[in-house]
Copies of this chain bind each other. A is one copy, B any other.
Amino acid sequence: MTKTAEVILFPRNARTPAQFQQWLATVLQTFQDYLVTRGLTLTHQREAVLRCLMAAQRHLSLEDVYAEARRKDRTIGRATVFRTLRLLQECGLVAEVGSTDGRARFELKADRPHHDHMICVECGRILEFESPMMERFQDEAVKRHGFVALWHRHEIFGRCAACRRLRGRAS
Protein backbone atom coordinates (compact mmCIF):
# COMPACT_ATOMS: atom_id res chain seq x y z
CA MET A 1 0.00 0.00 0.00
CA THR A 2 1.25 3.47 -0.90
CA LYS A 3 2.63 5.62 1.87
CA THR A 4 0.59 8.67 2.93
CA ALA A 5 2.30 12.03 3.08
CA GLU A 6 1.16 14.52 5.67
CA VAL A 7 2.51 17.92 6.50
CA ILE A 8 1.75 20.32 9.27
CA LEU A 9 1.18 23.64 7.57
CA PHE A 10 0.86 25.83 10.65
CA PRO A 11 2.91 27.52 12.00
CA ARG A 12 3.54 28.75 8.50
CA ASN A 13 7.12 28.50 7.28
CA ALA A 14 9.01 31.63 8.10
CA ARG A 15 9.25 34.14 5.29
CA THR A 16 11.92 36.80 4.99
CA PRO A 17 10.49 40.34 4.92
CA ALA A 18 11.38 40.45 1.23
CA GLN A 19 9.55 37.21 0.53
CA PHE A 20 6.55 38.47 2.48
CA GLN A 21 6.40 41.64 0.41
CA GLN A 22 6.55 39.59 -2.77
CA TRP A 23 3.74 37.36 -1.53
CA LEU A 24 1.68 40.31 -0.36
CA ALA A 25 1.95 41.96 -3.77
CA THR A 26 0.79 38.83 -5.53
CA VAL A 27 -2.18 38.22 -3.27
CA LEU A 28 -3.25 41.87 -3.31
CA GLN A 29 -3.16 41.75 -7.09
CA THR A 30 -5.36 38.67 -7.13
CA PHE A 31 -7.85 40.39 -4.86
CA GLN A 32 -7.84 43.57 -6.89
CA ASP A 33 -8.32 41.65 -10.13
CA TYR A 34 -11.43 40.08 -8.65
CA LEU A 35 -12.73 43.39 -7.37
CA VAL A 36 -12.28 44.98 -10.80
CA THR A 37 -14.41 42.31 -12.44
CA ARG A 38 -17.15 43.28 -9.99
CA GLY A 39 -16.69 47.00 -10.57
CA LEU A 40 -15.33 47.43 -7.04
CA THR A 41 -12.16 49.00 -5.73
CA LEU A 42 -9.39 47.90 -3.37
CA THR A 43 -9.82 50.29 -0.45
CA HIS A 44 -7.40 50.61 2.43
CA GLN A 45 -9.92 48.92 4.72
CA ARG A 46 -10.17 45.93 2.42
CA GLU A 47 -6.41 45.77 2.19
CA ALA A 48 -6.12 45.93 5.97
CA VAL A 49 -8.35 42.87 6.42
CA LEU A 50 -6.33 40.88 3.93
CA ARG A 51 -3.07 41.95 5.59
CA CYS A 52 -4.32 40.74 8.98
CA LEU A 53 -5.03 37.31 7.59
CA MET A 54 -1.66 37.17 5.86
CA ALA A 55 0.29 38.20 8.94
CA ALA A 56 -1.57 35.87 11.31
CA GLN A 57 0.08 32.69 12.53
CA ARG A 58 -3.25 31.15 13.43
CA HIS A 59 -6.84 30.95 12.27
CA LEU A 60 -8.67 34.19 13.03
CA SER A 61 -12.34 34.78 13.73
CA LEU A 62 -14.21 37.81 12.38
CA GLU A 63 -13.84 39.36 15.80
CA ASP A 64 -10.10 38.62 15.80
CA VAL A 65 -9.66 40.33 12.45
CA TYR A 66 -11.78 43.26 13.60
CA ALA A 67 -9.74 43.73 16.79
CA GLU A 68 -6.45 43.40 14.94
CA ALA A 69 -7.41 45.74 12.10
CA ARG A 70 -8.71 48.21 14.67
CA ARG A 71 -5.26 48.47 16.26
CA LYS A 72 -4.06 50.06 13.05
CA ASP A 73 -7.17 52.10 12.27
CA ARG A 74 -9.48 52.98 15.16
CA THR A 75 -12.43 53.67 12.89
CA ILE A 76 -12.68 50.52 10.80
CA GLY A 77 -16.08 48.89 11.24
CA ARG A 78 -17.19 45.37 11.98
CA ALA A 79 -19.51 45.52 8.98
CA THR A 80 -16.64 46.23 6.63
CA VAL A 81 -14.61 43.35 8.02
CA PHE A 82 -17.63 41.11 7.55
CA ARG A 83 -18.19 42.26 3.98
CA THR A 84 -14.52 41.96 3.11
CA LEU A 85 -14.33 38.43 4.46
CA ARG A 86 -17.28 37.59 2.22
CA LEU A 87 -15.55 39.10 -0.79
CA LEU A 88 -12.37 37.17 -0.02
CA GLN A 89 -14.32 33.94 0.20
CA GLU A 90 -16.14 34.69 -3.04
CA CYS A 91 -12.89 35.08 -4.93
CA GLY A 92 -11.43 31.93 -3.39
CA LEU A 93 -8.65 33.60 -1.42
CA VAL A 94 -10.14 32.71 1.96
CA ALA A 95 -12.01 29.76 3.41
CA GLU A 96 -14.03 29.24 6.54
CA VAL A 97 -12.82 26.64 9.02
CA GLY A 98 -14.75 24.95 11.81
CA SER A 99 -14.16 25.65 15.47
CA THR A 100 -15.17 24.42 18.88
CA ASP A 101 -16.55 27.69 20.24
CA GLY A 102 -19.28 28.60 17.78
CA ARG A 103 -17.34 31.32 16.02
CA ALA A 104 -16.18 30.65 12.47
CA ARG A 105 -12.45 30.90 11.78
CA PHE A 106 -10.90 31.96 8.51
CA GLU A 107 -7.77 30.97 6.71
CA LEU A 108 -5.96 32.07 3.57
CA LYS A 109 -6.15 29.55 0.77
CA ALA A 110 -3.82 31.75 -1.27
CA ASP A 111 -0.47 30.01 -1.27
CA ARG A 112 -1.28 26.66 0.23
CA PRO A 113 -2.41 23.30 -1.06
CA HIS A 114 -5.71 21.79 0.00
CA HIS A 115 -5.63 20.30 3.47
CA ASP A 116 -7.89 19.13 6.24
CA HIS A 117 -8.02 19.92 9.94
CA MET A 118 -7.70 18.32 13.33
CA ILE A 119 -9.21 20.51 16.01
CA CYS A 120 -8.30 20.07 19.66
CA VAL A 121 -11.38 20.24 21.87
CA GLU A 122 -9.14 21.04 24.83
CA CYS A 123 -7.07 23.99 23.64
CA GLY A 124 -8.76 24.86 20.34
CA ARG A 125 -5.51 24.47 18.40
CA ILE A 126 -6.05 23.66 14.74
CA LEU A 127 -3.64 21.19 13.18
CA GLU A 128 -3.48 21.16 9.42
CA PHE A 129 -2.61 18.09 7.43
CA GLU A 130 -2.62 16.76 3.90
CA SER A 131 -3.57 13.24 2.96
CA PRO A 132 -3.47 12.64 -0.78
CA MET A 133 -4.76 9.12 -0.28
CA MET A 134 -7.83 10.36 1.55
CA GLU A 135 -8.50 12.88 -1.18
CA ARG A 136 -8.11 10.18 -3.76
CA PHE A 137 -10.64 7.82 -2.22
CA GLN A 138 -12.94 10.72 -1.63
CA ASP A 139 -12.87 11.53 -5.34
CA GLU A 140 -13.70 7.94 -6.10
CA ALA A 141 -16.66 7.93 -3.74
CA VAL A 142 -17.99 11.16 -5.16
CA LYS A 143 -17.76 9.94 -8.76
CA ARG A 144 -19.42 6.68 -7.89
CA HIS A 145 -22.51 8.56 -6.73
CA GLY A 146 -22.73 10.86 -9.73
CA PHE A 147 -22.10 13.75 -7.40
CA VAL A 148 -20.08 16.83 -8.35
CA ALA A 149 -18.12 18.16 -5.40
CA LEU A 150 -17.77 21.93 -5.07
CA TRP A 151 -15.93 21.96 -1.76
CA HIS A 152 -15.64 19.83 1.30
CA ARG A 153 -15.01 20.06 4.98
CA HIS A 154 -13.18 17.33 6.81
CA GLU A 155 -12.65 18.12 10.44
CA ILE A 156 -11.44 15.73 13.10
CA PHE A 157 -12.17 16.72 16.68
CA GLY A 158 -10.14 15.29 19.53
CA ARG A 159 -7.18 15.91 21.78
CA CYS A 160 -3.82 17.09 20.52
CA ALA A 161 -0.53 15.56 21.63
CA ALA A 162 0.33 18.56 23.82
CA CYS A 163 -2.94 18.48 25.74
CA ARG A 164 -2.72 14.73 26.25
CA ARG A 165 0.76 15.09 27.70
CA LEU A 166 -0.46 17.86 29.98
CA ARG A 167 -3.58 16.13 31.27
CA GLY A 168 -1.92 12.76 31.81
CA ARG A 169 -3.34 9.35 30.89
CA ALA A 170 -7.01 10.42 31.02
CA SER A 171 -7.66 10.01 27.28
Contact = CB atoms under 8 A, between A and B. Distances in A.
Contacts of A42: none
A161 B145 contact: yes
Copies in the assembly, this chain: 2
B137 A131 contact: yes
Report the interface size class on chain A: 35 or more
Contact of A147 (B131, B141, B160): B160
A8 B142 CA distance: 12
A158 B153 contact: no
A47 interface: no
Given A4-B140, A138-B134, A129 B145 contact: yes
Interface string A147-158: 111111111111
Given A6-B141, A137-B134, A146 B118 contact: no
A155 B153 contact: yes
A157 B4 CA distance: 24
B142 A147 contact: no
Contacts of A121: 150
Contacts of A137: 4, 131, 133-134, 137
Interface in A119-147: 120-121, 127, 129, 131, 133-134, 137-138, 140-142, 144-147
30 contacts: A1-B2, A4-B144, A6-B141, A6-B144, A118-B149, A121-B150, A127-B147, A129-B145, A131-B137, A131-B138, A131-B140, A131-B141, A133-B133, A133-B137, A134-B137, A138-B156, A146-B160, A146-B161, A146-B164, A147-B159, A147-B161, A148-B158, A148-B159, A148-B164, A148-B171, A151-B156, A151-B157, A152-B157, A153-B155, A154-B154
